[in-house]
A and B are shown apart, each in its own frame.
Chain A
Amino acid sequence: MTKLIVIIPAYNEAKTIGNVIQGVKKYTDNIIVIDDGSKDNTYQTALQSGAKVYRHQINRGLGGALGTGIEAALLNDGDIIVTLDADGQHNPNEIPNLIKPIIKGKADIVIGSRFLKNQSMPFFRRLGNYFFNLMTFIFFGIYTTDSQSGMRAFNKKVAQNLKIYTNKMEVSSEIIKQVRANQFRLKETHIKAIYTPYSLAKGQGFFVGLKTLGKLLILKLTQ
Protein backbone atom coordinates (compact mmCIF):
# COMPACT_ATOMS: atom_id res chain seq x y z
CA MET A 1 0.00 0.00 0.00
CA THR A 2 1.22 3.45 -0.78
CA LYS A 3 0.89 5.72 2.21
CA LEU A 4 -0.42 9.21 1.60
CA ILE A 5 0.60 11.93 4.05
CA VAL A 6 -0.74 15.48 3.88
CA ILE A 7 1.43 18.24 5.35
CA ILE A 8 -0.24 21.47 6.42
CA PRO A 9 2.05 24.35 7.41
CA ALA A 10 0.14 26.71 9.69
CA TYR A 11 0.87 30.06 11.26
CA ASN A 12 -1.97 31.60 13.29
CA GLU A 13 -4.69 29.70 11.42
CA ALA A 14 -6.85 28.52 14.35
CA LYS A 15 -9.96 29.83 12.57
CA THR A 16 -9.56 27.71 9.46
CA ILE A 17 -7.28 24.77 10.28
CA GLY A 18 -10.11 22.64 11.77
CA ASN A 19 -12.12 22.79 8.57
CA VAL A 20 -9.11 22.12 6.39
CA ILE A 21 -8.27 19.01 8.42
CA GLN A 22 -11.88 17.76 8.22
CA GLY A 23 -11.77 18.23 4.46
CA VAL A 24 -8.52 16.27 4.12
CA LYS A 25 -9.81 13.38 6.25
CA LYS A 26 -11.96 12.16 3.39
CA TYR A 27 -8.77 11.15 1.63
CA THR A 28 -6.36 10.21 4.40
CA ASP A 29 -6.03 10.09 8.16
CA ASN A 30 -2.32 10.73 7.90
CA ILE A 31 -2.30 14.45 8.46
CA ILE A 32 0.71 16.35 9.73
CA VAL A 33 0.34 19.95 10.83
CA ILE A 34 3.40 22.09 11.43
CA ASP A 35 2.43 24.78 13.88
CA ASP A 36 4.97 27.43 13.01
CA GLY A 37 5.12 29.11 16.42
CA SER A 38 1.53 30.39 16.26
CA LYS A 39 0.32 32.79 18.91
CA ASP A 40 -3.30 31.62 18.68
CA ASN A 41 -4.89 28.20 19.27
CA THR A 42 -3.66 26.59 16.07
CA TYR A 43 -1.88 23.85 18.02
CA GLN A 44 -4.86 22.78 20.16
CA THR A 45 -7.33 23.05 17.31
CA ALA A 46 -5.23 20.93 14.99
CA LEU A 47 -4.66 18.34 17.70
CA GLN A 48 -8.37 18.10 18.52
CA SER A 49 -9.20 17.77 14.84
CA GLY A 50 -7.09 14.63 14.79
CA ALA A 51 -3.89 15.72 13.11
CA LYS A 52 -0.40 14.85 14.22
CA VAL A 53 1.06 18.19 15.20
CA TYR A 54 4.68 19.28 15.27
CA ARG A 55 5.33 22.61 16.90
CA HIS A 56 8.06 25.11 16.11
CA GLN A 57 9.08 26.91 19.27
CA ILE A 58 9.53 30.14 17.34
CA ASN A 59 8.17 31.26 13.98
CA ARG A 60 10.44 30.32 11.07
CA GLY A 61 8.28 30.98 8.03
CA LEU A 62 6.73 28.83 5.34
CA GLY A 63 10.03 27.35 4.12
CA GLY A 64 11.08 26.36 7.61
CA ALA A 65 7.67 24.79 8.26
CA LEU A 66 7.65 22.85 4.99
CA GLY A 67 11.13 21.52 5.64
CA THR A 68 10.05 20.20 9.02
CA GLY A 69 6.90 18.75 7.48
CA ILE A 70 8.83 16.85 4.84
CA GLU A 71 11.23 15.42 7.39
CA ALA A 72 8.29 14.40 9.57
CA ALA A 73 6.57 12.76 6.61
CA LEU A 74 9.68 10.69 5.94
CA LEU A 75 9.91 9.70 9.62
CA ASN A 76 6.29 8.54 9.34
CA ASP A 77 7.04 6.45 6.23
CA GLY A 78 5.06 8.48 3.71
CA ASP A 79 5.16 7.34 0.08
CA ILE A 80 3.22 10.21 -1.40
CA ILE A 81 3.29 13.61 0.24
CA VAL A 82 0.84 16.44 -0.37
CA THR A 83 1.27 19.99 0.90
CA LEU A 84 -1.59 22.44 1.21
CA ASP A 85 -2.28 25.72 2.96
CA ALA A 86 -4.02 26.05 6.30
CA ASP A 87 -5.90 29.23 5.41
CA GLY A 88 -8.56 27.46 3.37
CA GLN A 89 -7.25 28.54 -0.02
CA HIS A 90 -6.94 24.99 -1.28
CA ASN A 91 -9.75 22.54 -1.79
CA PRO A 92 -8.91 19.11 -0.33
CA ASN A 93 -11.24 17.52 -2.89
CA GLU A 94 -8.54 18.20 -5.47
CA ILE A 95 -6.09 15.84 -3.76
CA PRO A 96 -7.04 12.73 -5.83
CA ASN A 97 -6.49 14.60 -9.08
CA LEU A 98 -3.22 16.04 -7.81
CA ILE A 99 -1.68 12.70 -6.86
CA LYS A 100 -2.93 10.77 -9.88
CA PRO A 101 0.17 11.34 -12.05
CA ILE A 102 2.36 10.18 -9.15
CA ILE A 103 0.35 7.02 -8.49
CA LYS A 104 0.51 6.21 -12.20
CA GLY A 105 4.28 6.80 -12.11
CA LYS A 106 4.08 9.56 -14.70
CA ALA A 107 5.55 12.31 -12.50
CA ASP A 108 7.71 12.71 -9.40
CA ILE A 109 6.19 16.03 -8.41
CA VAL A 110 2.90 17.67 -9.30
CA ILE A 111 2.16 21.35 -8.76
CA GLY A 112 -1.43 22.47 -8.40
CA SER A 113 -1.68 25.44 -10.74
CA ARG A 114 -4.24 28.22 -10.50
CA PHE A 115 -3.48 29.42 -14.01
CA LEU A 116 -4.11 26.46 -16.29
CA LYS A 117 -7.71 27.49 -16.79
CA ASN A 118 -9.19 30.94 -16.74
CA GLN A 119 -10.49 31.89 -13.36
CA SER A 120 -10.95 35.04 -11.39
CA MET A 121 -8.18 36.35 -9.19
CA PRO A 122 -7.53 39.85 -7.85
CA PHE A 123 -5.55 41.71 -10.53
CA PHE A 124 -2.45 42.46 -8.49
CA ARG A 125 -2.18 38.86 -7.29
CA ARG A 126 -2.28 37.71 -10.88
CA LEU A 127 0.37 40.21 -11.87
CA GLY A 128 2.55 39.26 -8.90
CA ASN A 129 2.26 35.59 -9.73
CA TYR A 130 3.22 36.13 -13.38
CA PHE A 131 6.17 38.16 -12.26
CA PHE A 132 7.41 35.40 -9.95
CA ASN A 133 6.93 32.77 -12.67
CA LEU A 134 9.19 34.88 -14.85
CA MET A 135 11.80 35.46 -12.14
CA THR A 136 11.83 31.78 -11.22
CA PHE A 137 12.45 30.99 -14.87
CA ILE A 138 15.23 33.57 -15.21
CA PHE A 139 16.96 32.45 -12.01
CA PHE A 140 16.46 28.71 -12.11
CA GLY A 141 15.60 27.83 -15.69
CA ILE A 142 12.18 26.21 -15.33
CA TYR A 143 8.95 27.84 -16.38
CA THR A 144 5.79 26.84 -14.53
CA THR A 145 2.38 28.44 -14.77
CA ASP A 146 2.18 28.75 -10.98
CA SER A 147 5.58 28.87 -9.30
CA GLN A 148 4.13 30.21 -6.04
CA SER A 149 1.47 27.56 -5.51
CA GLY A 150 1.34 26.02 -2.06
CA MET A 151 -0.54 22.93 -3.20
CA ARG A 152 1.71 20.20 -4.49
CA ALA A 153 2.30 16.49 -4.32
CA PHE A 154 5.50 14.51 -4.61
CA ASN A 155 6.86 11.04 -4.10
CA LYS A 156 9.34 9.71 -1.56
CA LYS A 157 12.29 10.13 -3.89
CA VAL A 158 11.62 13.86 -4.11
CA ALA A 159 11.11 14.14 -0.35
CA GLN A 160 14.43 12.44 0.29
CA ASN A 161 16.35 14.63 -2.13
CA LEU A 162 14.80 18.04 -1.57
CA LYS A 163 17.20 20.27 0.34
CA ILE A 164 15.36 23.31 1.54
CA TYR A 165 17.60 26.16 2.64
CA THR A 166 15.18 29.08 2.56
CA ASN A 167 12.89 30.00 5.42
CA LYS A 168 10.06 32.03 4.00
CA MET A 169 7.87 32.45 0.95
CA GLU A 170 10.84 32.02 -1.41
CA VAL A 171 10.65 28.28 -0.70
CA SER A 172 8.17 27.70 -3.55
CA SER A 173 10.68 28.87 -6.13
CA GLU A 174 13.45 27.01 -4.34
CA ILE A 175 11.56 23.75 -4.72
CA ILE A 176 11.24 24.41 -8.45
CA LYS A 177 14.94 25.15 -8.57
CA GLN A 178 15.61 21.70 -7.13
CA VAL A 179 13.26 20.05 -9.58
CA ARG A 180 15.70 21.07 -12.23
CA ALA A 181 18.84 20.25 -10.26
CA ASN A 182 17.56 16.74 -9.51
CA GLN A 183 15.83 16.20 -12.84
CA PHE A 184 12.53 15.31 -11.23
CA ARG A 185 9.63 14.76 -13.61
CA LEU A 186 7.26 17.69 -13.10
CA LYS A 187 3.59 17.96 -13.98
CA GLU A 188 0.97 20.60 -13.34
CA THR A 189 -2.71 20.05 -12.70
CA HIS A 190 -5.46 22.60 -12.51
CA ILE A 191 -6.63 23.71 -9.07
CA LYS A 192 -9.13 26.35 -8.07
CA ALA A 193 -7.92 29.55 -6.49
CA ILE A 194 -10.07 30.26 -3.48
CA TYR A 195 -9.89 33.85 -2.32
CA THR A 196 -11.91 34.45 0.81
CA PRO A 197 -11.86 37.80 2.65
CA TYR A 198 -10.03 35.93 5.41
CA SER A 199 -7.22 34.68 3.18
CA LEU A 200 -6.94 38.03 1.42
CA ALA A 201 -6.63 39.91 4.68
CA LYS A 202 -4.01 37.48 5.98
CA GLY A 203 -2.20 36.90 2.71
CA GLN A 204 0.96 38.40 1.31
CA GLY A 205 1.37 41.87 -0.10
CA PHE A 206 3.76 43.90 -2.19
CA PHE A 207 6.51 44.22 0.38
CA VAL A 208 6.65 40.52 1.10
CA GLY A 209 6.97 40.14 -2.66
CA LEU A 210 9.98 42.46 -2.70
CA LYS A 211 11.61 40.61 0.17
CA THR A 212 10.98 37.29 -1.52
CA LEU A 213 12.62 38.57 -4.68
CA GLY A 214 15.65 39.69 -2.66
CA LYS A 215 15.91 36.28 -1.03
CA LEU A 216 15.73 34.54 -4.41
CA LEU A 217 18.56 36.73 -5.66
CA ILE A 218 20.68 35.77 -2.64
CA LEU A 219 19.85 32.12 -3.22
CA LYS A 220 20.90 32.50 -6.85
CA LEU A 221 24.16 34.25 -5.96
CA THR A 222 25.22 32.06 -3.06
CA GLN A 223 24.60 28.61 -4.50
Chain B
Amino acid sequence: MTLIQFLAIGLTILILLKTISDFKKNRINLLAFLFWTGLWSSVIIVAALPQITMPLAKISGLERGIDVVVYFAIVFIFFLLFKIIAKLEKIEYEITQIVRKNALQKQNNRPQKKI
Protein backbone atom coordinates (compact mmCIF):
# COMPACT_ATOMS: atom_id res chain seq x y z
CA MET B 1 0.00 0.00 0.00
CA THR B 2 1.36 3.45 -0.89
CA LEU B 3 1.52 6.38 1.51
CA ILE B 4 -1.21 8.28 -0.33
CA GLN B 5 -3.59 5.32 -0.05
CA PHE B 6 -2.80 5.07 3.62
CA LEU B 7 -3.55 8.77 4.17
CA ALA B 8 -6.75 8.66 2.14
CA ILE B 9 -8.08 5.67 4.04
CA GLY B 10 -7.15 7.14 7.41
CA LEU B 11 -8.84 10.45 6.66
CA THR B 12 -11.96 8.85 5.25
CA ILE B 13 -12.31 6.64 8.31
CA LEU B 14 -12.21 9.77 10.49
CA ILE B 15 -14.94 11.38 8.37
CA LEU B 16 -16.97 8.19 8.57
CA LEU B 17 -16.68 8.18 12.36
CA LYS B 18 -17.83 11.79 12.42
CA THR B 19 -20.84 10.88 10.27
CA ILE B 20 -21.76 8.08 12.65
CA SER B 21 -21.44 10.34 15.68
CA ASP B 22 -23.53 13.04 13.93
CA PHE B 23 -26.24 10.48 13.34
CA LYS B 24 -26.14 9.27 16.95
CA LYS B 25 -26.52 12.87 18.14
CA ASN B 26 -29.47 13.33 15.79
CA ARG B 27 -27.70 16.02 13.79
CA ILE B 28 -28.45 14.32 10.47
CA ASN B 29 -31.41 12.21 9.46
CA LEU B 30 -31.41 8.55 8.44
CA LEU B 31 -31.37 9.30 4.72
CA ALA B 32 -28.35 11.59 4.97
CA PHE B 33 -26.65 9.07 7.22
CA LEU B 34 -27.11 6.20 4.76
CA PHE B 35 -26.02 8.38 1.84
CA TRP B 36 -22.81 9.60 3.47
CA THR B 37 -21.93 6.20 4.98
CA GLY B 38 -22.36 4.64 1.53
CA LEU B 39 -20.27 7.32 -0.12
CA TRP B 40 -17.39 7.28 2.36
CA SER B 41 -17.34 3.47 2.54
CA SER B 42 -16.97 3.25 -1.22
CA VAL B 43 -14.19 5.82 -1.06
CA ILE B 44 -12.37 3.57 1.42
CA ILE B 45 -12.88 0.52 -0.77
CA VAL B 46 -11.62 2.30 -3.89
CA ALA B 47 -8.64 3.69 -2.02
CA ALA B 48 -7.71 0.28 -0.65
CA LEU B 49 -8.31 -1.67 -3.86
CA PRO B 50 -7.96 0.74 -6.80
CA GLN B 51 -7.96 -2.18 -9.24
CA ILE B 52 -11.70 -2.75 -8.65
CA THR B 53 -12.33 0.36 -10.77
CA MET B 54 -10.94 -1.47 -13.83
CA PRO B 55 -14.39 -2.30 -15.25
CA LEU B 56 -15.15 1.44 -15.16
CA ALA B 57 -12.15 2.05 -17.38
CA LYS B 58 -13.45 -0.48 -19.89
CA ILE B 59 -16.93 1.01 -20.00
CA SER B 60 -15.84 4.63 -20.16
CA GLY B 61 -12.92 4.14 -22.54
CA LEU B 62 -10.59 5.99 -20.18
CA GLU B 63 -7.26 4.44 -19.47
CA ARG B 64 -7.55 4.12 -15.71
CA GLY B 65 -10.70 3.38 -13.77
CA ILE B 66 -9.59 5.67 -10.97
CA ASP B 67 -9.88 8.60 -13.41
CA VAL B 68 -13.59 7.92 -13.73
CA VAL B 69 -13.90 8.03 -9.97
CA VAL B 70 -12.04 11.35 -9.84
CA TYR B 71 -14.28 12.83 -12.55
CA PHE B 72 -17.37 11.85 -10.65
CA ALA B 73 -15.88 13.30 -7.49
CA ILE B 74 -15.43 16.65 -9.24
CA VAL B 75 -19.01 16.63 -10.52
CA PHE B 76 -20.16 15.77 -7.03
CA ILE B 77 -18.24 18.72 -5.58
CA PHE B 78 -19.92 21.04 -8.05
CA PHE B 79 -23.26 19.65 -7.02
CA LEU B 80 -22.45 20.31 -3.36
CA LEU B 81 -21.31 23.82 -4.20
CA PHE B 82 -24.58 24.47 -5.95
CA LYS B 83 -26.50 23.16 -2.96
CA ILE B 84 -24.58 25.46 -0.65
CA ILE B 85 -25.17 28.51 -2.83
CA ALA B 86 -28.88 27.74 -3.04
CA LYS B 87 -29.00 27.41 0.74
CA LEU B 88 -27.18 30.73 1.15
CA GLU B 89 -29.74 32.41 -1.09
CA LYS B 90 -32.50 31.02 1.07
CA ILE B 91 -30.85 32.34 4.21
CA GLU B 92 -30.39 35.76 2.59
CA TYR B 93 -34.08 35.78 1.75
CA GLU B 94 -34.99 34.90 5.30
CA ILE B 95 -32.81 37.69 6.68
CA THR B 96 -34.56 40.13 4.35
CA GLN B 97 -37.92 38.97 5.65
CA ILE B 98 -36.89 39.68 9.22
CA VAL B 99 -35.50 43.10 8.33
CA ARG B 100 -38.66 43.86 6.35
CA LYS B 101 -41.01 42.85 9.14
CA ASN B 102 -39.05 45.01 11.49
CA ALA B 103 -39.17 48.03 9.17
CA LEU B 104 -42.92 47.71 8.63
CA GLN B 105 -43.68 47.26 12.33
CA LYS B 106 -41.51 50.13 13.51
CA GLN B 107 -43.33 52.39 11.11
CA ASN B 108 -46.62 51.41 12.69
CA ASN B 109 -45.37 52.03 16.22
CA ARG B 110 -44.16 55.55 15.65
CA PRO B 111 -46.65 57.05 13.26
CA GLN B 112 -45.25 59.67 10.92
CA LYS B 113 -47.63 61.04 8.40
CA LYS B 114 -50.75 59.42 7.12
CA ILE B 115 -50.74 58.83 3.39
Contact = CB atoms under 8 A, between A and B. Distances in A.
Interface stretch (A45-53, A92-100, A102-110): A45-53
Interface string A145-182: 00000000000000000000101000000000000000
Interface in B90-112: 92-93, 95-96, 99-100, 102-104, 106-107, 112
Interface stretch (A70-78, A80-88, A117-125, A197-205): A70-78
A58 B107 CA distance: 16
Instruction: Indicate the size class of the contact surface on chain B.
Output: 10 to 19
Contacts of A167: 92-93, 96
B103 A50 contact: no
Contacts of B113: 50, 52
B6 interface: no
Contacts of A52: 107, 112-113, 115
B89 A222 contact: yes
A58 B95 CA distance: 10
Contact of A60 (B96, B104, B107): B96
* Max chain B Cβ within 10 angstroms of own Cβ: one of A53, A56, A57, A64: A64
Contacts of A5: 115
A204 to B, nearest CB: 19
A53 to B, nearest CB: 7
Contacts, number: 60
B92 A29 contact: no
Nearest to A3: B115
A218 to B, nearest CB: 6
Q: Is the interface of B mostly helix, strand, loop or mixed?
A: helix
* Max chain A Cβ within 10 angstroms of own Cβ: one of B82, B113, B115: B115
Q: Is the interface of A mostly helix, strand, loop or mixed?
A: mixed
B103 A57 contact: yes
28 contacts: A5-B115, A29-B115, A32-B115, A47-B112, A50-B113, A53-B112, A54-B103, A54-B106, A54-B107, A55-B106, A56-B103, A57-B99, A63-B96, A64-B96, A67-B100, A68-B99, A68-B100, A75-B104, A76-B115, A165-B89, A167-B92, A167-B93, A167-B96, A215-B89, A218-B89, A221-B86, A222-B86, A222-B89
Interface of A: 5, 29-32, 34, 47, 50, 52-58, 60, 63-64, 67-68, 71-72, 75-76, 165, 167, 215, 218, 221-222
Given A54-B104, A60-B99, A72-B104, 15 more contacts: A29-B115, A31-B115, A52-B112, A53-B112, A54-B107, A57-B103, A68-B100, A68-B104, A71-B100, A71-B104, A76-B115, A167-B93, A215-B89, A218-B86, A222-B86
Interface of B: 82, 85-86, 89, 92-93, 95-96, 99-100, 102-104, 106-107, 112-113, 115
